[in-house]
Amino acid sequence: MTPALAYGVTLLGFVLLKPDSPSAVYWINMVYAFFLEALFFIWLHKGHAEIKEVTNQTPYFKVFLGVCTLYYIGAAVLWMIYYFLCGTELGRRLLCVHFDLPEVLSTFPEMSVRLYLFGILALTVIWIVVASIVGQHDVEYNTQHVQLEQDTEEVRLLGHELRDMAEQYSNPANEREWNRLIREADSILPSQVARERGRIMAKVNKLVMNNQEIK
């Protein structure tokens, strides 16, 4: 209901301000205004939603993207208002009537359409580039963080597995060797667990085989 009302008010405003012979900028402004409103309502709906599934992005990036989007929308709206007031004949007349600024405005020529469109393009490109760069670094950080958590869990499980096997296969003759392997497993760096696990398990299998031969 709220988006439809906002779109209706925006459309009414453009209809009331529609010149006799609307230029291409008029239609561009209308489409761009609807785009900004759609972007705002998307942020309003998605920006505060909880992340219910595992993604490659962290919640911190979602917050950053929401703030960045709000800044972009605000800057774009201010740029449109500035162009209307200082870059169009109608806007300049309104300023002269309400604020009595003919002398000030006479020193500033009307903003060219190319400059106005370049401003819109520049704001959009900056928004996309900044979000893309931060998003890429966020994915790399999140991937490394998830991998670190998995490796840390692997170290914990390896130590737990060795303790269970030690209870089953240790004897007075090899108890010291089992304790040494358990301490060695607990001290493995998470980033090295994939490589060290095979080496330690080879020693464990050797101890188990020796224990079975003794029995």
- Residues 102-112 pLDDT 10s: 555 555 566 77
Q: Which residues contact 37 (CB under 8 A, 6 or more apart)?
A: 3, 6, 7, 10
Residue pair 160/193 in contact (Cβ under 8 Å)? The answer is no
Q: What is the pLDDT of residue 22?
A: 76
The string of pLDDT tens digits covering residues 130-161 is: 988 988 888 888 888 888 888 889 888 888 88
In a domain, 95, yes or no: yes
- pLDDT top residue among 76 and 59: 76
- Mean pLDDT of the 15-28 span: 78
Counting the structural domains of the chain, the total is 2
Q: Are residues 155 and 177 in the same domain?
A: yes
Domain that holds residue 7: 2-139
In a domain, 145, yes or no: no
Q: Are residues 109 and 44 in the same domain?
A: yes
- Mean pLDDT of the 84-89 span: 74
Residue pair 211/169 in contact (Cβ under 8 Å)? The answer is yes
In a domain, 47, yes or no: yes
Residue 56 has pLDDT above 70, yes or no: no
